[in-house]
Structure 1
Amino acid sequence: MSTSVVVPDLTDPDLYAHGDPHTVWRTLREHAPVYRQSVGDGLGFRAVTRYADVARVARDHDVFGPEQGAVPDPFGIGDPAVGQRLAATDPLRPDRMRVLLDQALRARPIRARADDIRSGIRALLPPDGDPFDLAEAMKALPLVVIGALLGLPEDDRPRLAHLALMAFAGDDPDYRLPEGPAATVRRAHRELFAYFGDLVRYRVRRPRDDLIGTLLGLRHDGERLSPDAVVVGCHDLLLGAGVPLSQVPGAAVLELARTGGYAAWANRPDLLDSGVEEALRWSTPANHLVRITRRPVELSGVWLPEGATVVAFLGSADRDDRVFAAPDMFDVARRSNRHLAFGAGRRSCVGSSTARPALRLLFGELFATYASLEVVGEPVRLRSTFLAGLKRLPVRGRPRPGTRPVTSPSPRGGADRRSQSSDIAKSFRA
């Protein structure tokens, strides 16, 4: 397989902010599925773009190990959470911690806080038909969901939402510190760990009936989880669930507005689940994952030596026509949707079990509030090599009849817009 194809620099954040990465990935899938990208000073990585190869890199941890701090970071940002975040550590530890997180989420499922989350979602959606920035509104969505589960104070949530985006979009001028993108990412992780460290220590002294309390009460090998382990779990849950939650709605709405498919999906509650999976495939908010080969391995006819850096592009895999029929079509009725938006295997995104039901709640409320949505301004994408998404999406919604605020009491007391839209949204529940 020839690797002489010329493509733009895959490490350039402008490719993702202003270019067309999907066209680039399509070219690579066809002509150079294991492409050698130089980074400078003789360094580089192999860009893997076909679904089968990306899935193997994600799943086969015996061959593809997690990136470690001593390995050159192919995107020049670095990850100060390497060795702490679940997806970046030895597979035994994330498996163990993920089991405990799953256990805690089963004990404290998202449906137990569905009313609070639904109420928080409604507060993000203006009911009056005036234009608003959907991408800006969705920045708060991760904290609406994770904040409810962890019992995070309302006043802290805007700052935490900003830090979560700083952690993934350090190249974007809206988030980048004067010291540069690497310093931005370090600051975000440092402040998030510090915040959750203070919060968990406080909850040790003053327990509460929430997910943090549940985690602090869990036992592993007969011993309670340490506060430090709970801090890591909180950090990963926020970032793991926050990436898809904040970026999926905007990407889906933008495409639905372009094709006129919004109303068709809004009027088919039976397609809510398949539509959410399609929105995840379509958006694939995490562009890539990075692994290091533990031994020589062959991918698409190319042999890689031990110690090679591999960047597997999830967004490319999710548009591979070898797996998905008409991959560039947003099809809410798509079946057997084996997308890799959350990765795969034991290092898959820890927030997936939270993100899916949260997205069902979000789209249910969106459809209950607006009969139609149109884009009324220029979308602006994030400048990030990792996070594929929008930071501006001006829209105008046509309120669904019966969901406007009641301005005068009715003979029955006058149910407000929230209770009315809640009745409509019930049909969209999983």
Structure 2
Amino acid sequence: MSAPPSLPPPSSWPDLADPDLYADGDPYAAWHTLREHAPVHWQPAGDGLGFWSVTRYADVERVLADHASFTSERGTLLGLLGRHDPAGGRQMAVTDPPRHDRMRAPLHRALRLRSAEAHSEEIRAGIRELLPETDGAERSFDLSAVCAQLPLVVLGPLLGLPARDRPHLVRLALMCAAEDDPEHQLPEGPEATLERGHRELFAYFADLVRDRRRRPRAGDGGDLVDVLLTMEVDGARLTPGEVLSNCYSLLLGASVTLAHVPPATVLELTRTGRHHDWAGRPELLDSGVEEALRWASPARHFMRHARRPLDLAGVPVAAGDPVVAWLGSANRDGAVFARPDTFDPARRPNRHLAFGAGPHYCAGAGIARVTLRLFFAELFARYAEIEVTGPPRRARSTFLSGITRLPVRVRPRQKEVAR
């Protein structure tokens, strides 16, 4: 595929496989160029590897939803490009229907029994503990560091995780989601970081499940792990591996989404001076959360492999070729979203793809929405003003669209001063 004469040759187009683009460059500008001129193009990735890069909304949605044409079982993240995922067919995120659906069903049933709404007061209390008190005066802190603990504020009650383990679990989840980032990477490199993160997380949940099997807490006193252990699918109990997979998927999904949507949103609101446009209109809480998800798009991409030769937006793709769908690009596609580069808390409709599409649509989307509503409601109720006081530090990761440092100064609402 050749570029129009007015454009640079494809060899000089943005390298979407380079994590530095996301830490120090402008991926949105890169995605815009590719949506306009090469929405499906081959992206070299070094060592003779490469992948088809997909940047338009319609094509991203097709790749994620069409499991008959694209498989998840050979790996869903660029970190596994060129290698088979050892968890393929055994872990929910890398298993295709119909087995995927059988693995996913118990999680949905369990979440209905142990919903985030049922724990809303406990989650709200946890959020209040996370957000620093002001004692009637201005206060400075790192919002990203605060939000890093948010996923375990939610999953702690749902999974029955001890509070003392939460910082350790956050660190392991970030090793799995951002193995290229210096803040989370081991000295041995990204591959070793990813391997250890996976190994230790699964070992942690294996110990947790083993303990629950010995000492079940069934009935109303049980948590999500207990529900999974006692639930039947097709007349049989879940295997320990399937229980582990559900726990792992929940933790990783929550760590990506919950920790990174608020900092990205606050940064944009303060940059544009539009904090009050949302904070002062509580009727926009729900639509604003959807816009925050679109804006942040915390999972940048998901990878699939073509099951058969096919045509993708006029481009022939061979059987077995890796195809990377860029969610962050799809969510800024002007063909779907009016003024896509403007944060609009009143945006409706808002069919963003932040949670994916198709069979692998995020199982914890409901939990994320409830938690983000509670978080932003508390943030706006507690602080009258939020000012970013230093440069943000962005994650060096092709997958995680995150801000790892965001220094802010907050001013309390008048009611706090009057206490």
TM range (shorter): over 0.9
Distance 1:95 1:403, change over 3 A: farther
Please, which of 198, 201, 222 is the counterpart of residue 192 of structure 1?
201
C-alpha deviation, 1:113, in angstroms: 1.0
- For 2:409, the equivalent position in structure 1 comes to 396
Deviations 1:357-397 (A, max 9, x none): 11111111111111121101110001111001100000111
Aligned twin of 1:413? none
Measured in 1, the distance between the counterparts of 2:21 and 2:63 equals: 24
* 1:94-109 equivalence runs, <5 A: 94-109=100-115
Deviations 1:387-419 (A, max 9, x none): 01100000111112223695xxxxxxxxxxxxx
Q: 1:256 to 1:324 in 2, by over 3 A?
A: same
Equivalent residue in structure 2 for 1:112, among 108, 118, 121: 118
Match of 1:87 among 51, 72, 93: 93
1:132-172 CA-partner distances (Å, limit 9, x unpaired) = 00011111001111111111000000000111111111111
Residue pairs, 1:341-420, within 5 angstroms: 341-403=354-416, 406=419
Secondary structure of the corresponding residue to residue 68 of structure 1: coil
How far 1:40 sits from its partner (Å)?
2.9
Note closer, same or farther for the CA distance 1:44–1:27 as it changes in structure 2 (3 Å cut).
Answer: same
- The alpha carbon displacement at 1:90 in A equals 2.0
Select 1:166's aligned residue among 175, 194, 215.
175
Please say if 1:228 is aligned against 2:241. yes
Distance 1:22 1:317 in 2: 10
Q: Distance in 1 between matches of 2:197 and 2:210?
A: 20
Q: Which deviates further from its counterpart, 122-131 or 159-168?
A: 122-131
Q: Quick one: distance in 2 between partners of 1:33 and 1:83?
A: 30
Question: Which residue in 2 is equivalent to 1:18?
Answer: 24
Secondary structure, counterpart of 1:328 in structure 2: coil
1:145-160 matches, cutoff 5 A: 145-160=154-169
Conserved 8 A contact 1:11-1:74 = no
The one of 153, 178, 187 equivalent to 1:178 is 187
Q: Distance in 1 between matches of 2:23 and 2:77?
A: 27
Classify 1:171/1:348 alpha carbon distance in 2 versus 1 (closer, same or farther; 3 Å): same
Task: Give the deviation of 1:317 after TM superposition.
Answer: 0.4
How far the C-alpha of 1:78 sits from its partner, in A, is: 7.8
TM-score, normalised on structure 2? 0.93
Separation (CA, whole Å) in 1 of partners of 2:361 and 2:334: 23
- Residue by residue, what CA displacement relative to the aligned partner does 1:30-85 show, whole Å, maximum 9, x if unpaired? 01111111123432111000000000000000001114169996657986644443
- Partner of residue 149, structure 2: 140
Task: Compare 307-316 and 80-89 and name the one that shifted more.
Answer: 80-89
3-state SS, counterpart of residue 290 of structure 1: strand
Alignment check: 8 A CA contact 1:127 1:405 kept: no
Q: Distance in 1 between matches of 2:31 and 2:209?
A: 42
Correspondence for 2:325 = 312
* Cα RMSD (Å): 1.9
**Distance apart, 1:215 and its partner CA:** 1.2
Corresponding position: 1:322 with 2:335: yes
Q: Partners of 1:70 and 1:325 in 2: how far apart?
A: 30
SS of residue in 2 equivalent to 1:402? helix
Within the candidate set 268, 274, 290, 2:303 is matched to 290
> Aligned AA for 1:58?
L
Letter in 2 for 1:269: P
The CA distance in 1 between the partners of 2:154 and 2:77, in whole Å, is 35
SS of 1:191's equivalent in the other structure is helix
Given that residues 73 and 89 in structure 2 are in contact (C-alpha distance below 8 angstroms), is that contact kept between their aligned partners in structure 1?
A: no
Alignment deviations for residues 5-51 of structure 1 (CA, whole Å, 9 cap, x no partner): 33232111100000000100000000111111112343211100000
What runs of 5+ residues in structure 2 fail to find an aligned partner? 4-8
Measured at CA, do residues 135 and 81 of structure 1 come closer, stay the same or move farther in structure 2, by a change above 3 Å? farther
Q: CA 1:99/1:40 → structure 2, altered by over 3 Å: closer, same or farther?
A: same
1:170–1:184 contact (8 Å) kept in structure 2? yes
State the alpha-carbon separation in 1 of the partners of residues 405 and 83 from structure 2.
24
Q: What is the one-letter code of the residue matched to 2:232?
A: R
Residue of structure 2 in register with 1:201 after alignment: 210
| Count of residues in Structure 1 that have an aligned counterpart in Structure 2 | 406
Query: What pairs with 1:258-269 in structure 2 (closer than 5 Å)?
Result: 258-269=271-282
Unmatched tracts of structure 1, length 5 or more: 407-430
Check the 8 A contact 2:289/2:372 in 1, yes or no.
yes
Query: Could you tell me the percent identity over the aligned residues?
Result: 59
For residues 330 and 72 of structure 1, what CA distance do their matches in structure 2 show?
28
Q: 296-305 or 276-285, which moves further after superposition?
A: 296-305
Q: 2:40 touches 2:53 (CA, 8 Å); kept in 1?
A: yes
Q: Write the distance in 2 (CA, Å) between the matches of 1:332 and 1:88.
A: 34
Deviations 1:326-365 (A, max 9, x none): 0000000000101110110111122212111111111111
AA at the equivalent of 1:116: E
| Paired residues of 1:77 and 1:182 also in contact (CA < 8 A) | no
Say which SS state the counterpart of residue 415 (structure 2) adopts.
coil
Corresponding residue for residue 62 of structure 2: 56
2:43 pairs with one of 33, 37, 42: 37
Aligned residue for 1:414? none
- Return the alpha-carbon distance in structure 2 between the equivalents of residues 266 and 288 of structure 1: 30
Counterpart of 2:6 in structure 1 is none
